[in-house]
Structure 1
Amino acid sequence: MIDRLLGRLLRGRHAGEEHLLNRDLRLASSLATIELTSTAFRPGAVIPLRYAGEGVGDNVSPPLAWRNVPDRAVELVLNIEDPDAPFRRPFVHLVAACIPPSASGMAESSLNASSFSTQRELGLTTFRKLGYGGPRALPGHGPHTYVFQVFALARKSGLGSGMTRDDVLRVLQDNVLAYGELRGVFERK
């Protein structure tokens, strides 16, 4: 009940697209060459309830696939943000680094802390938890866009478990060869 009232009161407040990680990096649009997709939802479509966060859905990370990673890439970094959250900065739902550039995607649930490979590193979400934290927009706040981002790096990031979005922002500066994004929508009425 209180969540719904809070959602309605904050309905017009949003962090904003201009604060997404790829915008904070001021990346040239010519670097947006990686195609990021999911078999769970089409670009711009509703993210199924299965992938919504704890208490709302099953909190299972959706399957992701990508292509057109540059041959020179030495590492991939994944990030999921909600720019429609009523905060100063987008709400971070995932930070993952040290993903081999030879990987072509991530299977369903592979970004959850309980099943994440030791070859990769998970960072902290805004929930202050490691791994995937699915959509949990405030009820009544309206539709939220969830922006899945993949970055191909020219140099190893050196990021370790427990990294934050700010850590990622620091190491991605002048280190991104290419990136891609996939957007999905989720709303709690």
Structure 2
Amino acid sequence: MALTLISKAFAQDQAIPKKYARAGENLFPPLAWSGAPDSTKSFALVVEDPDAPSGTFRHCGIANIPAQWTDLPESAETAPDRAPRFYKNDFGNARYDGPQPPRGDRPHHYIFRLAALDVPRLSIPDAAGINAMWAEAKKHVLAEASVTGTYQTQ
């Protein structure tokens, strides 16, 4: 079985609800996955907008998600008993920051990428940011899955 990733908040290639955008409530959307390889020791996640005017823009980076987890709840950064480790995004915040494409742009695509890793932890300092975290994660990928939503500022 292949690794799969879904969100109850939006379907593949469909619009992300405003409550998950920066202009809305800026909540992290709920995600769930299945089919991780048996040898998975942890997960890493990145959320990126490849349609940003300056090139791919990363909205969220999470590492050291325990191997036994199969989901991240809505607003995962505030989950009291299982808040994962967030890295600084391209806004400069160590949290999720939702879609915020320029007004008038066509809909942007927001790709939520989950990687099953062969290591229990990535030893990347928080200050290193998403790019360094994801580069290190890519060295340890056993499987990867993604779900893509769209968003357009009205």
| TM-score, scaled relative to structure 2 | 0.91
Indicate yes or no: 2:80 matched with 1:105: no
User: Distance in 2 between the 1:69 and 1:188 partners?
Assistant: 35
Q: Percent identity, aligned pairs only?
A: 30
Summarize the Cα distance change of 1:109–1:152 in structure 2 as closer, same or farther, 3 Å threshold.
Answer: same
Structure whose residues are more often helix by fraction:
1
Partner residue of 2:60 out of 72, 77, 94:
94
Deviations 1:107-160 (A, max 9, x none): 1111x3x44766631101111001100111111011000000000111232234
CA distance in 2, matches of 1:169, 1:108: 22
Determine which of 112, 116, 141 is the counterpart of 2:105: 141
Residue 1 of structure 2 corresponds to residue 35 of structure 1: no
Secondary structure of 1:78's aligned partner: strand
Larger radius of gyration: 1
Counterpart residue number, 2:147: 182
> What is the count of residue pairs matched by the alignment?
153
Q: Kindly tell me: are residues 174 and 74 of structure 1, through their superposed partners in 2, closer, same or farther at Cα, counting changes over 3 Å?
A: same
Q: Does 1:77 align with 2:44?
A: yes
8 Å contact kept, 2:29–2:74: yes
Structure 1 residue 83: Cα displacement? 0.3
User: Cα distance 1:58–1:73, how it changes in 2: closer, same or farther (>3 A)?
Assistant: same
| Equivalent pair of 1:98/1:119 in contact (CA under 8 Å) | no
TM-score (norm 1): 0.75
**Cα distance, 1:176–1:105 mapped onto 2, change above 3 Å:** same
Output one character per residue of 1:68-126: Cα deviation in whole Å (capped at 9) or x when no partner.
111101110011000000013x111100001001101011111x3x4476663110111
Q: Trace 1:157-168 onto structure 2 (pairs within 5 A).
A: 157-168=122-133
- RMSD, aligned α-carbons: 1.9
| Aligned equivalents of 1:180, 1:116: Cα separation in 2 | 26
Equivalent of 1:58, from 6, 10, 25?
Answer: 25
- Superposed CA deviations along residues 41-77 of structure 1, whole A, max 9, x for unmatched, are 1111100011011xx1100111000001111011100
Question: What is the CA–CA distance in structure 1 between the aligned matches of 2:24 and 2:83, rounded to whole Å?
Answer: 28
Unpaired stretches in structure 2, ≥5 consecutive residues: none
Letter in 2 for 1:101: A
Out of 173-182 and 163-172, give the one that drifted further: 163-172
Higher fraction of strand: 2
Question: 3-state DSSP class of the match of 1:164?
Answer: helix
